[in-house]
Structure 1
Amino acid sequence: MIRERTYVDEGAGRQWRSTIAAAQAGDRQALDELVEGWLPLVYNVVGRALNGHADVDDVVQETMLRAVDNLGSLRDPDSFRSWLVAIAMRQIRDRARRKRPAQLDESAAHEATDFAELTVLRLQLEGQRREVAEAVRWLDDEDRQLLSLWWLEVAGELTRRELAAAAGISRQHAAVRVQRVKERLETARGIVRALDGACPGLRELTARWNGRPDSVWRKRLARHIRGCGYCGDTRESVVPAERLLVGIALVPIPVGFTLSLALGGKTAVAATATTTSVGWSAKVMAAITQPAVAVTAGATIVAGGAYVVTQTPDAPPRAAAPTASSTFRPPAPTPSVTPSATPSPSPSRTRKVELYGTVVDAVDQAPDPDARPAALPQRPESGITSTGGRQAVMQHRGDSVTLSGQGYVLVRWQISPHSRPGALVMPAWTGLKGKIFHVASGGGRRMDDVVGDGSDRGYVTGMGGPEIGYAVLPNGTQQMWQNEYFYLDGTVTLTQNERGCDYGLTVFPSTWEAANEDVRHGPDRGAIRYGLVRDTGNDTAPVPQYVTRGTPADPATVPQRSRV
């Protein structure tokens, strides 16, 4: 198993010294662990610097190949992280030199989803954190490259010494350049904030704008904001960017991104034989056959399952003791969950099927936002393991994560009707061995809660509205809340069944303490509503909809009235 990284000012050496030494000596497992463990950092550096451009994958591949190629030349393991990031920055600059500006502009029209949007969607950023991520779009390439390093420095992934080394400048010069980037970022944040407003003058100014951020429009909009009382009137205190970035995790690598260091799993000898046909350079192929590198032959690292993200979502503030009760009361059991008899091998006897829990197959009414939740029963915990690591991001149909153990699980929803509206095909829990309960809905909001009073936009949070389209739940489906908590004692697989409306799920192994605090995060601390306790503390507690002990070929066919 990949060890979790602990970031310290001295760099990666103390935690990774033995792994690096073993990889340099030809240990395949150590080299796989090294590449696998640091791939997310490289992906974030390159992704932010290039803003999610289609070349990101190629630059990441080339960076990791060069790192593997030159690992034997690294003398000080303590400098591994700055050395690796410096390689990434060189590849970014080399790419810019290889392509003429006209080529870059032309290819920009064919970019994948930009990194600002990936940051917002995959880390579930809201408010001013979201504003900072979107402001990156307005920076020039050079500023964005430095920002990719400073962002990671503030988030605890790099030190200032490593930032300066990667940028190829002194620490004093780095301080000056970072300050300039921060100033330009604040200007860009003002633009993002103004564009979200309703200034008539700004609407008139942007009538001819094609919607793509560039330096010309950045200057025009900044000039308007400086002279506009409406746009310059900030109704909430603006938190400095560095305070907003503290604690933000690495953006998970996209599901489906594959780093293949040796031609998709061929041996070093076979890879060398195919060099001329696939266009790989003789230098790279010679490197792959060296002792310190040949151990990667056949190693393919697939994001979403093989790497570990060690950061956890922001911990909710500590809650005050509850003063009132609004516990969830499940409806009476339906015929679908009543005990029934099935044939046994003996024709003269029957075996009673022991069922548990209640399937909530009706939309539960939203409680009063100010009603404090009941106490959350505390069930035994020995810990949950996940095939998706500490944070499994599932954005596409067929993405899945298998959970095992005894403890709590957080499933966080992100509905995107602005990307693709329509009917939701709900996720399914399949292959259940043991028991699973739907124990709580986290404090903050239901997905049908209105933003403010609804007068400014006229649509509800999460589920959409007339301007962007709606997300429509199947008949009888519970209204999900943004954070949903489950308790598992056994093994189960959760599958994303997206078809129709666009949505994503992020799955975190959690704890009773985290669930309890989240549920009590209510209006008195800035949320829309308190959460909801669903757990009765025994086997009559509700179970998730769309759960089965079977393993259907298509998880989207799991019936809503589940029998568990």
Structure 2
Amino acid sequence: MENSRLSRVHPPGPEGTYVDGRQWRSTIAAAQAGDRRALDELVEGWLPLVYNIVGRALNGHADVDDVVQETMLRAVDNLGTLRDPDSFRSWLVAIAMRQIRERARRRTTDRLADSDGHDAADFAELTVLRLQLEGQRREVAEAVRWLDDEDRQLLSLWWLEVAGELSRRDLAAAVGISRQHAAVRVQRMKARLETARGIVRALDTSCADLRQVTARWTGQPDSVWRKRIARHIRGCDRCGGHGRRGEAVVPAERLLVGLALVPLPVGFTLSLAFGGKTAVAATAATASVGWSAKVLGALTKPAVAVTASATIVAGGAYVVTKTPEERPPRAAPTALSTARPQAPAQRRSPSGPVPSASPSPTASPSASPKKKREASYGTVVDAVDRAPDPDTPPRALPRRPETGIESTGGAHAVMNHRGDSVTLKGEGYLLVRWQLAPQYRPGGLVMPTWTGLKGRLFHVASGGGRRMDDPVSADGRTSGMGGPDIGYIVLPDGTQQMWQNEYFYLDGTVTLVQNESGADYNISVFPSSRAAVEEDVNRGPDQGALRYGLVRDNGTDTTPVPQYVTRETPEDAAAVAQRSEV
């Protein structure tokens, strides 16, 4: 399995691919028509992507928050002008890049402006810390500091293209050039990035000659010192040509493929207010969250024909803003939902008896044949599966009600360490994406655990285009659960084989706990949707997947529940037994 996190912004498309605007068509149309909840979802869903583009382009400069907020304001303010919802992603990214360039034109070049940036959070450092990057992935993130502004702007898009969040069409449209020209620009930027990586590696060596060259260096990357250090590297056998500890240098695109978005920082607040407010009311509403004065005027302009608001607060707060009385209507049946999928053979847990049918008080036992009832919820637990044929598309996914999932981890919760957890609440789909890192720590894997379940939880589907036991691919982008050179990750006996993306359906409340011990792994959790699941599992080899996905939900209580789930809240979540019954 590719040792990286595939990422997506909430509720974007099949992780492992870039977000497809088509699945947002109905949400965008509703927001344009004045639906407050749709507007909330749109802003909340796409904010992480915008934050990552701006943050990396400006490398965490103090202006990042302003540029992100101005981008979202302009997007909402001009949403009614968007004629093709399928192009929403390209349209939004282009707005972000225009705001970045506008900020560059406004920015003065005096030393005061430069010092302001040093007081802000270094985005390269945030990337390393928040995504727990090590080795050459860390090296790539640190190398970004050595790029010029123009290269960093392009890299902010290319990074997300490689990670699966954007397409090349989005990149070219955002920069305002053709795809052919974009390819040339990207190649040049990558060459400079490799030079910067060489500088990061060299500075990590004990080369006495390099220490002499950098004796008067202040430690702040700039173009002058980039050229000086690069010149030294080209003539130094000790500093040039190899990775740390003599390892082969892996191309940046292979290191970044599927890498997650950097989560919004704790305390980051985006508050938008639209329609029916006076300038005084808008000022009062936004002063408390530190908005700049230049934004206040825009707040009084109605973006849609309804009073609407959206508030995103990172760190410990629920992200989806909704009130109990504002439950969205259930989607009308579609051609996809009316098709009756063929249910797979039912699996029965050896520890769970199947209840017998209760006799009807009005029917004679001899008058009608006995009907076998389906197993009740909780008695059918996920078991080890047989890998499906990669060339066979999965059956259709049954339709279940979706009113939204709230997450204490926000739209993208990343759990890197033992004891990390996220609590989910609501009725709808969610995605758990796996990152295995056997090159850091192979061995036995202790599975994460679902605890404190109130309601029902189903295992819906597996996707992402690959299973954890898939072999190394010809292009080297996937490596299964390890290999002889780096060691292997081993699943507990009887554990359901995992895929890159695992989808679940929740109707209630549950907490997912990371139980890392032994093998190194990270998991990301995203509120999702049925449309995203369908698109993911049906993404065939012609769309870059190794295999089609697998649908487990059959629309009944016989749909498997996760192996490691309990209604209890144990002191040690890692102790929850396999084949739990709920």
**How high is the TM-score relative to the length of structure 2?**
0.57
- Verify: 1:285 aligned to 2:293, yes or no: no
Map 1:365-384; keep pairs closer than 5 Å.
Answer: 380-381=381-382
1:106 is aligned, of 115, 134, 146, to 115
Query: Which whole-Å CA distance do the structure 1 matches of 2:182 and 2:254 have between them?
Result: 19
Per-residue deviation, 1:91: 1.1
RMSD: 4.9
3-state SS of the aligned residue for 2:447?
strand
Map 1:448-467; keep pairs closer than 5 Å.
Answer: none
Q: Which amino acid aligns with 1:291?
A: V
Q: Is the 8 A contact 2:444 2:491 kept in 1?
A: no
3-state SS of the aligned residue for 1:488?
strand
1:215 is aligned, of 214, 223, 230, to 223
Query: Which whole-Å CA distance do the structure 1 matches of 2:482 and 2:296 have between them?
Result: 61
- Verify: 1:43 aligned to 2:51, yes or no: yes
Q: Is the 8 A contact 2:16 2:258 kept in 1?
A: no
1:487 is aligned, of 449, 452, 468, to 449
1:305-344: CA deviation from partner (whole Å, max 9, x where unpaired): 5569xxxxxxxxxxxxxxxxxxxxxxxxxxxxxxxxxxxx
Q: Is the 8 A contact 1:164 1:174 kept in 2?
A: yes
Q: Is the 8 A contact 1:442 1:483 kept in 2?
A: no
3-state SS of the aligned residue for 2:450?
strand
Per-residue deviation, 1:280: 5.3
3-state SS of the aligned residue for 1:402?
strand
Q: Which amino acid aligns with 1:85?
A: V
3-state SS of the aligned residue for 2:452?
strand
Q: Is the 8 A contact 1:386 1:403 kept in 2?
A: yes
The 3 A distance-change label for structure 1 pair 253 and 483 is farther
The answer for the alignment partner of 1:249 in structure 2 is 260
The answer for the alignment partner of 1:524 in structure 2 is 484
Q: Which amino acid aligns with 1:295?
A: A
3-state SS of the aligned residue for 2:215?
helix
Query: Which whole-Å CA distance do the structure 1 matches of 2:431 and 2:55 have between them?
Result: 32
1:401 is aligned, of 417, 422, 436, to 422
Query: Which whole-Å CA distance do the structure 2 matches of 1:399 and 1:211 have between them?
Result: 35
Map 1:141-160; keep pairs closer than 5 Å.
Answer: 141-160=149-168
Q: Is the 8 A contact 1:147 1:181 kept in 2?
A: yes
Per-residue deviation, 1:184: 0.4
The 3 A distance-change label for structure 1 pair 167 and 491 is same
Query: Which whole-Å CA distance do the structure 2 matches of 1:233 and 1:8 have between them?
Result: 31
Query: Which whole-Å CA distance do the structure 2 matches of 1:83 and 1:256 have between them?
Result: 27
Q: Is the 8 A contact 1:52 1:115 kept in 2?
A: yes
Per-residue deviation, 1:275: 3.6
Q: Is the 8 A contact 2:172 2:182 kept in 1?
A: yes
Between the two structures, name the one with larger relative contact order (CA 8 Å, sep ≥ 6). Answer: 2
The answer for the alignment partner of 1:192 in structure 2 is 200
Per-residue deviation, 1:64: 0.3
Q: Is the 8 A contact 1:410 1:510 kept in 2?
A: no
Q: Is the 8 A contact 2:48 2:263 kept in 1?
A: yes
The 3 A distance-change label for structure 1 pair 523 and 198 is farther
Query: Which whole-Å CA distance do the structure 2 matches of 1:121 and 1:484 have between them?
Result: 23
Query: Which whole-Å CA distance do the structure 1 matches of 2:188 and 2:438 have between them?
Result: 39
The answer for the alignment partner of 2:277 in structure 1 is 269
The answer for the alignment partner of 1:295 in structure 2 is 308
Q: Is the 8 A contact 1:522 1:531 kept in 2?
A: no
Q: Which amino acid aligns with 2:67?
A: V
- Verify: 1:392 aligned to 2:405, yes or no: no
The answer for the alignment partner of 2:348 in structure 1 is none
Query: Which whole-Å CA distance do the structure 2 matches of 1:391 and 1:80 have between them?
Result: 20
Per-residue deviation, 1:240: 1.8
3-state SS of the aligned residue for 2:449?
strand
Q: Which amino acid aligns with 1:76?
A: D
1:240 is aligned, of 251, 254, 268, to 251
The 3 A distance-change label for structure 1 pair 162 and 2 is closer
Q: Is the 8 A contact 1:411 1:485 kept in 2?
A: no
Per-residue deviation, 1:172: 2.9
1:52 is aligned, of 55, 60, 65, to 60
Q: Is the 8 A contact 1:5 1:15 kept in 2?
A: yes
3-state SS of the aligned residue for 1:177?
helix
- Verify: 1:74 aligned to 2:82, yes or no: yes
The 3 A distance-change label for structure 1 pair 207 and 532 is farther
Q: Which amino acid aligns with 1:248?
A: L
3-state SS of the aligned residue for 2:262?
coil
The answer for the alignment partner of 2:37 in structure 1 is 29
The answer for the alignment partner of 1:172 in structure 2 is 180
Q: Which amino acid aligns with 2:120?
A: E
Per-residue deviation, 1:387: 3.5
The answer for the alignment partner of 2:98 in structure 1 is 90
Query: Which whole-Å CA distance do the structure 2 matches of 1:152 and 1:226 have between them?
Result: 30
The answer for the alignment partner of 1:163 in structure 2 is 171
Q: Which amino acid aligns with 1:42?
A: V
Map 1:535-550; keep pairs closer than 5 Å.
Answer: none
Q: Is the 8 A contact 2:57 2:149 kept in 1?
A: yes
Query: Which whole-Å CA distance do the structure 1 matches of 2:17 and 2:31 have between them?
Result: 23
Query: Which whole-Å CA distance do the structure 1 matches of 2:412 and 2:163 have between them?
Result: 17
Q: Is the 8 A contact 1:13 1:79 kept in 2?
A: yes
User: What is the identity percentage for the equivalent residue pairs of Structure 1 and Structure 2?
Assistant: 64
Query: Which whole-Å CA distance do the structure 2 matches of 1:207 and 1:61 have between them?
Result: 41
Q: Is the 8 A contact 2:413 2:422 kept in 1?
A: yes
Q: Is the 8 A contact 1:410 1:485 kept in 2?
A: no
1:134 is aligned, of 142, 159, 162, to 142
The 3 A distance-change label for structure 1 pair 300 and 409 is closer
Query: Which whole-Å CA distance do the structure 1 matches of 2:217 and 2:10 have between them?
Result: 48
Per-residue deviation, 1:29: 0.8
Structure 1 stretch displaced more, 244-253 or 254-263: 254-263
